[in-house]
Amino acid sequence: MSNPFRTVALVGRYQSEGVAGSLAEIAAFLRERAISVLVEAGTAEAIGRTDLGHVTIDEIGRHADLTVAVGGDGTMLGVARHLARYGVPVVGINHGRLGFVTDIPLSQWRDALGRILEGDYTAEDRTQLTTRVLRGAEEVWNQVAMNDVVVSRSSRAGMIELQVHVDGVYMYNQRADGLIIATPTGSTAYALSASGPILHPRLAGLVLVPVAPQALSNRPIALPDDARIHITVVEGREPRVAGDMQVFSDLHVGDDIIVERGPHRARFLHPPGYTYFGTLRGKLNWHELPILSRT
């Protein structure tokens, strides 16, 4: 089978020990197969390999057929956020800790990546969120998120009060530490730790999860993924909004936060044998039997 990927880009979490060596090995592996290699500029500079054709993330989007992210889930999500609009698929090699979306173990990358390069893979498209912050008539922040959008209080302040409308219909006023709007991808991240449900990636849904709400009857709710969620900051000191817990903006009382499904979907490629349920079993330890205490 001919290789469908002629140009492959590499992006790495270069702060982590050992990533430079892994990236160099992967680059050599690709070149042995006559594949052109591009390396994201910050990654190339950090690992001292500017000879490898360093380019910006947008140039990767315009020229690469595939991107390999080496790091943790944060690395993978950051790459996917930028490349979704270009339609470039992303493969994740786990050089971090948990690795929900970087599903190829570092010890198995040669076999897994080789199979993918031969066209033997499973493709999965993941929903993104777009978020706009309006301060009166002015748009002061606009970001894309793969996992979630979180409106929260400062660590130095008390609860915030948020008013929530869905598709123009008033839903509630929520007093809490924060509110999470998560995609199916993000349902296993912060939303899960706040007792939200797990959404399978093929579900066309979002989940709205309060963080430590004052009213214990305020529970997580699943919404259709084409819902338009409008949040207004009613009260609170030093509120802020975050996308994927990687990009942040301070908020003011009275700000409006509009969260909607993004126009593009990120494409993840998985090696043969990948299953979402296998990932859940492995990462959430579902395969372990409970330990029963003896009295």
Catalytic residues: 73
Closest by CA position to 7, among listed 37, 31, 44, 43: 37
Closest by CA position to 194, among listed 146, 152, 255, 154: 152
Burial class (CB in 10 A: 0-12, 13-18, 19+), 274: middle
Please give the Cα distance from 160 to 8 (Å, whole number).
45
Q: Is the dihedral of CA 83, 103, 66, 27 positive or negative?
A: positive
Closest by CA position to 187, among listed 147, 229, 247: 147
